[in-house]
């Protein structure tokens, strides 16, 4: 990807991250509570046996309560572990005590990752629903990620395997926008869940 293609995305990422960084702990807590209720109401999650998800970090919309609620329903929840090439390995979530903080990128980035058996990057293809992190989504369902490319690889694994899970991004209300920059490898999500509701795209 050339500098021209990346520049608009980089600019937007900075803008959305600046807004998130201005949120208080109370803002994040309230959002997480509302998000759980909205997400658990999704028919896709009600019917899912396996969900690939992630543990929120920093000011991302909180996911831990949602992971626990899914697990309490008997859902098999897969969580990612970042590999050196930015691909994602997967492990089963067994509760908050089964997570360990792992530093990546020379210690700059700390993620909570599952400590149990690693199932391999293709384990995501067994999921009925994939919950994706993001910074924004537009009216077409195009998602703006953080730029690491990990979830582009996840979507490529799914496509290569012919898997077709529901793709759902978890966001704040202000992060559903008219349009985000798009590149040839980008794929739309099916729905966005925000504290105030669900937006479907296709």
Q: What is the pLDDT along the chain (202 residues), one digit of tens a residue?
A: 344 445 788 889 999 999 999 999 998 988 888 999 999 999 999 999 999 999 998 899 999 999 999 999 999 999 999 999 999 999 999 998 999 998 876 666 678 999 999 999 999 999 999 999 999 999 999 999 888 889 989 999 999 999 999 999 999 999 999 999 888 778 899 999 999 999 999 7
3-200 maps to CATH 3.40.50.10420: yes
Q: Which residue is listed with tokens 């807590």?
A: 29
Return the pLDDT at 1: 38
Contacts 24+ apart (CB under 8 A), 162-167: 163/124, 163/125, 163/126, 163/127, 165/52, 165/127, 165/128, 165/129, 165/130, 166/42, 166/44, 166/48, 166/128, 166/129, 166/130, 166/190, 166/191, 167/129, 167/130, 167/132, 167/191
Output DSSP code: residue 162: T
Q: Is 179 helix (H, G, I), strand (E, B) or coil?
A: coil
pTM: 0.91
What separation in angstroms does the CA of 35 have from each of 21, 53, 71? 19, 14, 16
Each domain of the chain, given as residue ranges in start order, spans: 3-200
Q: What is the pLDDT of residue 107?
A: 60
DSSP labels, 107-137? TTEEEEEE-S----GGGGGG-SEEEE--SEE
Q: What pLDDT does residue 149 have?
A: 86
Q: What is the spatial distance between Cα 189 and Cα 38, in angstroms, rounded to a whole number?
A: 17
């Amino acid at each position: 990807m050339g500098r021209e293609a990346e520049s608009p995305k980089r600019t937007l990422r900075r803008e959305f991250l600046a807004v998130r960084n201005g949120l208080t702990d109370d803002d994040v807590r309230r959002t997480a509570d509302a998000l759980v209720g909205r997400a658990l109401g999704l028919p896709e999650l009600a019917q899912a046996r396996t969900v690939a998800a992630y543990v929120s970090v920093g000011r991302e919309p909180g996911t831990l309560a949602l992971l626990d609620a899914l697990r309490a329903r008997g859902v098999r929840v897969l969580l990612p572990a970042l590999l050196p090439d930015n691909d994602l390995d997967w492990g089963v979530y067994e509760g908050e005590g089964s997570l360990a903080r792992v530093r990546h990128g020379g210690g700059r980035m700390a993620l909570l990752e599952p400590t149990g058996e690693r199932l391999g990057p293709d384990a995501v293809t067994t999921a009925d629903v994939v919950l994706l992190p993001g910074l924004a989504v537009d009216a077409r369902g195009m998602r703006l990620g953080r730029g690491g490319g990990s979830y582009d690889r996840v979507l490529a694994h799914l496509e290569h395997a012919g898997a077709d899970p529901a793709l759902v991004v978890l966001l704040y209300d202000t992060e559903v926008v008219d349009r985000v920059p798009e590149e040839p490898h980008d794929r739309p999500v099916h729905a966005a869940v925000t504290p105030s509701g669900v937006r479907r795209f296709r």
